[in-house]
Amino acid sequence: MKQITLILLVVFFLTGCSANRVNTEFKFGNKLAKRGLWKEAYYRWTRALKAGDDSAAIHNNIAISLEYQNKLAEAEAEYQKALKLSPGNEYIKRNISRLKKRMNPDIESDFEEKKDLKKMKKKDKRRRK
């Protein structure tokens, strides 16, 4: 009976440590990302995943770090994992949309042309006045 109690205490203790480790790694990764240290942030977020938290937020952050490292195909896979875990998350959907524009140069140039066209129209209106 004492052995079972001891085993249960050890399991509960380790579970608590694991949850704390996930939170610590996740927050530290966020701090690193704010400094622009994307490789180190990626490392911390993947450690948080390995510690047992398969959350949409972690997958989303990993995808963003991969984007900053120009690993776009890997980033897309991480965004899809995040979206699967949180299907209604508009932030993740917006990130996927931005990534697809980056991956398809035609979409980006088309977007830039529209911005340039708007600027030209504004200049023409000013000249007419």
Cβ neighbour number for residue 62 with a 10 Å cutoff: 25
SS3 state at 108: helix
Q: Report the distance separating Cα 21 and Cα 53, nearest Å.
A: 10
**Is 80 exceeded by the pLDDT of residue 92?**
yes
**Is 50 exceeded by the pLDDT of residue 14?**
no
Query: According to CATH, what is the number of the domain 2-128?
Result: 1.25.40.10
- Per-residue model confidence (pLDDT) at position 68: 94
**Is 70 exceeded by the pLDDT of residue 103?**
yes
Instruction: Please say whether the beta carbons of 49 and 58 come within 8 A.
Output: yes
Q: Report the distance separating Cα 46 and Cα 60, nearest Å.
A: 11
Instruction: Please say whether the beta carbons of 32 and 47 come within 8 A.
Output: no
Averaged pLDDT, 82-93 = 95
Q: Report the distance separating Cα 11 and Cα 18, nearest Å.
A: 10
